[in-house]
Structure 1
Amino acid sequence: MRQWLIGLLGWCAVSAFAAPHQHEPPVVLAPGYEDLQFEPPSAGSYQLPSMGDAADGLILNTSGNAGRLHDYLGDKATVLSFIFTTCNDVNGCPLATYVMSGVQKAVLKDPELVDQVRIVSFSFDPEKDTPSVLGRYGDQFRAEGFDWEFLTTASEDALRPTLDAYDQWVIRDYDEEGNYLGTMSHILRVYLIDSDRRIRNIYSTSYLHADTVVNDLRTLLMQ
């Protein structure tokens, strides 16, 4: 996992350099980086009530083709995360991508899931995460033939309605001249969406774990 994080954080545009003889404070890694510390209930033994409809929105795929988010929702159980590729908070976007990689690995091992699950990583930094950038980023993590889509938008204006619909607030950092610095603050949320485009679970940093997500996917497909 340590090497995985080093490789992922190599994408970050901003690096922090400590002064001589000083050390950065230790980072407490989110539970999603470690083994699950409890035994989850057996798949199918619990319910995942609808939490509302999954919103639509404008997108660009990694080929630069325009479409709608709903084009990637509805035919499979979908795990949707909002990320940006230059995020350097290990408990933010890198955590989401790490956990999604774990979900991918588990799903590929389960013949009952492999054709029923899609992962969507949606960037909320259209200025830096162009289709080609996202394509190269996604190639690092997506297994050959697996349905893991990386999406962006043409502009921040095109993105804003989708972020609002999914209650994703973003604060961008600018310098004194109004230039975007490539960093932002946000809350990590990952959404489990069923084939009827309904949200069935929302995972936060403290709850996001590949084992939990896969257990919920199995439960969802049993309902």
Structure 2
Amino acid sequence: MILIGFLLFLTACGYEIENPHNWEVQEFKYINQDGKEVALESLKGKVWLANFIFTNCDTVCPPMTANMAKIQGLLHEEGIENVEIVSFTVDPEVDTPDVLKEFAGKFDADFSNWHFLTGYSQDEIETFARESFKSLVQKIKGEPQVGHGTSFYVVDKEGIIKQSYSGVDVPFEQIIKDVKSLN
């Protein structure tokens, strides 16, 4: 087991993410499932994973959240520390901190490093997703579902999005490898 860990360490040394996006995350300051403030500034110095979900989603959000929970478990198993996970709700009017906490609990989310964020307007999250993550978020008036991208993103310690991955058909090993290379 030690040999495998050492080989993984050697593999990560000198490894660089292929074709990095290098998109800068805009400043933000939102609240998490515990009502505590989480800001871009508070994530500086840490590698983090991000995605966009909402609690009333009847298609991709539950499996995406389960997949992110699996990544959280893999990070723990690999002993990778100083990594945060941030799930932005795309339905902030419905997804209060309490609603997000209940939703996350269904997936055994470990809140020590996973933040489910809300506390912004619909327009704000649509603009933030588009400008920072190059991702579409769109709530159509009168419709309960919100259109949004299904990607997972890895963000470096300076708040630069380095890569995106499918949040549905997840390349778990690649994400872990990329996180290690930035940590």
Q: Under TM normalisation by the shorter chain, which class is it?
A: 0.7 to 0.9
CA change 1:198–1:139 in 2 (3 A) is same
Give the AA of the match of 2:72: Q
1:129-140 counterparts in 2 under 5 A? 129-140=95-106
Match of 2:158? 196
1:143-162 counterparts in 2 under 5 A? 143-144=109-110, 146-162=112-128
Q: Post-superposition shift, 1:205?
A: 4.6
Residue-pair matches, total: 170
Give the AA of the match of 1:79: L
1:1-223 counterparts in 2 under 5 A? 42-44=11-13, 46-48=15-17, 49=20, 51-65=22-36, 67=37, 69-89=39-59, 92-111=60-79, 113=80, 115-144=81-110, 146-165=112-131, 166-174=133-141, 180-205=142-167, 208-221=170-183
CA–CA separation in structure 1 for the residues paired with 2:62 and 2:166: 13
Q: Post-superposition shift, 1:203?
A: 1.3
Deviation track 1:107-136 (CA, whole Å, cap 9, x = no partner) reads 11122x1x2211111101011111110121
CA change 1:215–1:207 in 2 (3 A) is farther
Stretches of structure 1 lacking an aligned partner (at least 5 in a row): 1-41, 175-179
CA change 1:190–1:214 in 2 (3 A) is same
CA–CA separation in structure 1 for the residues paired with 2:62 and 2:42: 22
- Larger Rg, first or second structure (1 or 2): 1
Give the AA of the match of 2:124: A
When structure 1 is superposed on structure 2, of 52-61 and 183-192 the one drifting more is: 52-61
User: Runs ≥4 in structure 1, deviation > 6 angstroms?
Assistant: none
CA change 1:171–1:50 in 2 (3 A) is closer
CA change 1:96–1:144 in 2 (3 A) is closer
CA–CA separation in structure 2 for the residues paired with 1:102 and 1:47: 24
Percent sequence identity over aligned pairs: 28
CA–CA separation in structure 1 for the residues paired with 2:111 and 2:137: 32
CA–CA separation in structure 2 for the residues paired with 1:135 and 1:205: 20
Deviation track 1:188-223 (CA, whole Å, cap 9, x = no partner) reads 1221001111111111357633222112111222xx
> TM-score, normalising length from structure 1?
0.66
Q: Post-superposition shift, 1:79?
A: 0.3
Say what the alpha-carbon RMSD is for the aligned residues: 2.4
CA–CA separation in structure 2 for the residues paired with 1:143 and 1:186: 22
CA–CA separation in structure 1 for the residues paired with 2:168 and 2:102: 29
CA–CA separation in structure 1 for the residues paired with 2:152 and 2:168: 11
> TM-score, normalising length from structure 2?
0.79
